[in-house]
Structure 1
Amino acid sequence: MYFPGKKTILISIIFLFYFISIKAQSTTPKFNVIAFYTAKNDKAHISFVHEANKWFSKMGTQYNFTYDSTTNWNNLTAKFLAHYQVVLFLDTRPEVPEQREAFKKYMDNGGAWMGFHFSGFALTPSTYPQNWDWYHTEFLGSGSYASNTWRPTSAILRVEDRKHPATKRLPETFKSAPNEWYKWTNDLRTNPNINILLSIDSTSFPLGTGPKLHEIWHSGYYPVVWTNKKYKMLYVNMGHNDIDYDNKTDKELSSTFDSEIQNKLIIDSLLWLGRGKK
């Protein structure tokens, strides 16, 4: 009968601990993501939020990060945010001064953020007035909402910066998923802190179907994805699905995650944000 020697046993134990360590590393989340959302009033925004929660959860399994979401904006505190490396705003923004201050400190201290579509909206007077200068003017740089296209339609998007980690896998131009596109009061090109990653390509025009004439764009320059060099952040104008408003069925006619190329942009943006502090 063979009895292994002490050296053989020791080597076996070392290999056992090695493989346990490798297994532990593969299951340990690379980073933690928390998404805040409201999901009220606009059916297209609600549609996006629901599918975003499902999609990001699936991506978390695939790319090894944890994904949590909440409608409780009171969780926007330093203590709560300390557990997360990336914050998402899926539709709206914080309204309470204490929440806003906690988010600002989180970003000032090297936190990471990605915002979608309506999270950048501000219009005075409205339910979401421009009453947060740091967020809309300094952080986003966009100022207030100026106008939008209608109905939600796809656009040909042009990559402005192909060296950024969020855009490295994208072609020079690609077709987006249907979206309602925003115009802003500020010209982001004049802001030295803003790095525009994607804009609407001129081949998209006319963009929108109306029925109102001002809802159809025929020319102009419209950034749709950008970063602020002072922060670890990225804003994405996508996040408004097409809904059957005309027949009042509320049927979802499109998905923000229909475009594989656009999905590469979103996941690569998130992975870039999750790599650590700026």
Structure 2
Amino acid sequence: MRTLIAFSAALAAICTSSSAQVADPGEVSARHDSAPPEITEFMPSPAILVFSKTLGWRHNEGIAGADRFFAEVTSDNGMGIFTTANGAVFNPEQLKRFEVIVFNNMTGDALTPEQEEAFQKWLENGGAWIGLHSAGDNSHADWSWYDDKVIGPEFVGHPAGPQFQEARLVNLATAHPIMRGIPAEWMHTDEWYSFDGTEALGDAVPLLGLDEDSYSPQNLLYGDREDLRMGGGPAGHPIAWTRCIGKGRTFYSGLGHNHTSYDDPIYRKLLLNALQWVRTRDDANEGCQRG
């Protein structure tokens, strides 16, 4: 039993590793991609890039579930899709081919500074971005613009013992276009992230909140932080939000550790709404400010 507990603690510690350490230049260059992938000239347009490189924990099931979901969506809507873990796709020429970029459980220092800059310019000039689950964990501290401006709140842990729990999700923004058709509340099973507070949300619009009384926000297996409660009711524990950056729109969801999340009809509706909203361009910029 002690061996099993020790193994579980080690596994969980890897999954919630602290911010990525800075590697020496030689190590960084070896970890990054330099040769862009080949993208067929016959890829339909508009197209979605689904990026799932991981230099931290790899959520294989969640990545597979999201890949399948976006493959179904693009097929149903006559859109193109390109799935890759090659960070060299983040170059100005190839990014022009994509209307939407999805960070599908991306972790760690996945991009070079030049690739990060290409993504930033793409987004600020009118790109549409969706981030899923570990795209918002604490392994991205090397990329301060992304960590601070795109995500905002810092991930501090998730429950362990048990890790996966059913919890009540609360609709925090019923009038927002992304939340139209989403019930006032529903139950969902996932690995629930906690963050360091809501202050770093800044001008982001919180969309979903977690009812901490509906599950056990405790980490009983590893580290020195057992109590993961954020307090303040569901509004004090946001788990999905959106913000506008320059001319671009972003949506982040902490859901999606396992493939089963993408079978939930309500969550599928939420992601479809998010995809439509981040792609929309209008003078009023509806949904970019808190109502």
Q: Normalization by structure 2: what TM-score? A: 0.71
Q: Secondary structure at the match of 1:163?
A: coil
Q: Partners of 2:187 and 2:227 in 1: how far apart? A: 18
Asked if the contact 1:196/1:226 (under 8 Å) is kept, the reply is yes
- Tell me, in whole angstroms, the C-alpha distance in 1 between the residues paired with 2:173 and 2:92: 33
* Deviations 1:111-155 (CA, angstroms, capped at 9, x unpaired): 010001111122xxxxx351222111122111x321212212222
Assess if the C-alpha contact under 8 Å between 1:205 and 1:219 holds in 2. Answer: no
Match of 2:180? 168
Matched residue type, 1:237: G
Give the superposition deviation at 1:104.
Answer: 0.6
> Measured at CA, do residues 210 and 189 of structure 1 come closer, stay the same or move farther in structure 2, by a change above 3 Å?
same
Equivalent runs, 1:15-30 vs 2, <5 Å: none
1:107 and 2:123 aligned: yes
For 2:124 and 2:229, how far apart are their aligned partners in 1? Answer: 39
Q: Distance in 2 between matches of 1:118 and 1:131?
A: 15
Q: Does 1:83 align with 2:93?
A: no
Are 1:207 and 1:217, in contact at CA under 8 Å, matched by a contact in 2? Answer: yes
Residue 226 of structure 1: aligned partner = 241
Q: 1:52 and 1:257 mapped to 2: Cα distance?
A: 7
SS in structure 2 at match of 1:161: coil
Residue pair 2:218, 2:229 contacting (<8 A) in 1 also: no
CA shift, 1:34, in A, is: 0.6
Q: Structure 1 residues 101-110 or 89-98, which shifts more?
A: 89-98
- What is the deviation of 1:208? 6.2
Provide the residue aligned with 1:137 in structure 2.
148
Report the residue type matching 2:166 in the other structure: S
* Equivalent of residue 194 in structure 1, options 204, 216, 219: 204
Indicate yes or no: 2:277 matched with 1:272: yes
Q: Which amino acid aligns with 1:135?
A: Y
2:14 is aligned to: none
Q: Pairwise mapping of residues 1-278 of structure 1 onto structure 2 (< 5 A)?
A: 31-38=46-53, 42=57, 45-92=59-106, 94-122=110-138, 128=139, 130-142=141-153, 144-150=154-160, 151-176=163-188, 178-185=189-196, 187-189=197-199, 191-207=201-217, 210=220, 217=228, 220=231, 221-230=236-245, 231-241=248-258, 255-276=260-281
One-letter code aligned to 1:159: N
User: Structure 1, unaligned stretches of length 5 or more?
Assistant: 1-27, 123-127, 242-253
Displacement, 1:30?
A: 7.1
Larger radius of gyration: 1
Q: SS of the residue aligned with 1:155?
A: strand
Q: SS state of the match for residue 263, structure 2?
A: coil
Q: Is the 8 A contact 1:117 1:237 kept in 2?
A: yes
Q: What's the offset of the Cα at 1:274? A: 2.4
For the residues of structure 1 that align with 2:96 and 2:128, how far apart are their CA atoms?
12
1:54 positional shift:
1.6
CA contact (8 A) 1:152 1:208 kept: no
Q: How many percent of aligned residue pairs carry the same amino acid?
A: 24
Q: Deviations over 1:78-120 (max 9, x none)?
A: 1111011100000125331011101110111010100011111
Contact 1:189 1:196 in 2 (8 A): no
* Structure 1 residue 164: Cα displacement: 1.4
1: CA distance, partners of 2:116 / 2:140: 14
Question: RMSD in angstroms over aligned alpha carbons?
Answer: 2.6
Stretch deviating more after TM superposition (82-91 or 48-57): 48-57
**Equivalent residues of 1:89, 1:119 under 8 A apart:** yes
Count of aligned residue pairs for this structure pair: 230
- Contact 2:198 2:237 survives alignment (8 Å): no
